[in-house]
């Protein structure tokens, strides 16, 4: 009995390292062909003080945009706003006033609004007078902003310059 156990144990000791080496070689010979797309996130704090000219309002909000490849996902949240008529992206520096390059929300949302007012994904075909490459460059250079328009403030009730969100390391 003892001889049979020794023989079986010797067989396992001989086979396990060979199997482990074979499995490692099979894995190592298969390159990972998945393409990893870069992800960039941009954020803005929306305030009437940032509008041009400044607007005195209790309204506030935030926007976050995530760029992956040629898709730009967005979410815009507001507080204490009434009768929103549109949410837009513009290419331009803080303090300037430039034309709209993307509509994030259009049409009258009657009544008070607090919470998510715009979300979705933009593609190159959704842009006006700018390419996705131009918008990407503007976002990376802090040269784009979001505006929220209302019935009472058709030129914009609040605005926020989009800034790149730094990557945060996690464990």
Separation between Cα atoms, residue 62 and residue 168, nearest integer Å:
19
CATH number for the region 39-164 comes to: 2.60.40
- Per domain, the residue ranges of the chain are 1-29, 39-164
Mean pLDDT value of segment 158-166: 94
Hey, what are 156's tokens? 């914009």
Distance CA 92, CA 102 (A): 13
Question: Tell me, what's the pLDDT at 38?
Answer: 82
pLDDT at 161 over 80: yes
Q: What pLDDT, on the 0 to 100 scale, is given for residue 108?
A: 82
The H or E element that residue 28 is part of is: helix 2-29
């Amino acid at each position: 009995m003892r001889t049979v156990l020794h023989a079986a144990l010797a067989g396992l000791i001989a086979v396990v390292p060979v199997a482990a080496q074979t499995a490692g070689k099979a894995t190592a010979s298969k390159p990972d062909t998945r393409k990893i797309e870069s992800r960039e996130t941009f954020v803005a704090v929306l305030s009437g003080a940032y509008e041009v000219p400044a607007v005195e309002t209790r309204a506030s909000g935030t926007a976050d945009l995530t760029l992956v490849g040629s898709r730009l996902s967005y979410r815009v949240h507001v507080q204490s706003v009434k009768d929103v008529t549109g949410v837009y992206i513009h290419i331009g520096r803080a303090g300037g006033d430039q034309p709209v390059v993307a509509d994030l929300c259009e049409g009258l949302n009657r009544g008070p609004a607090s919470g998510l007012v715009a979300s979705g994904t933009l593609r190159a075909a959704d842009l006006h007078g700018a390419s996705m490459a131009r918008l990407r460059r503007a976002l990376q250079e802090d040269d784009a902003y979001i505006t929220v328009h209302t019935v009472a403030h058709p030129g914009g009730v609040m605005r926020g310059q989009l800034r790149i969100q730094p990557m945060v390391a996690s464990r």
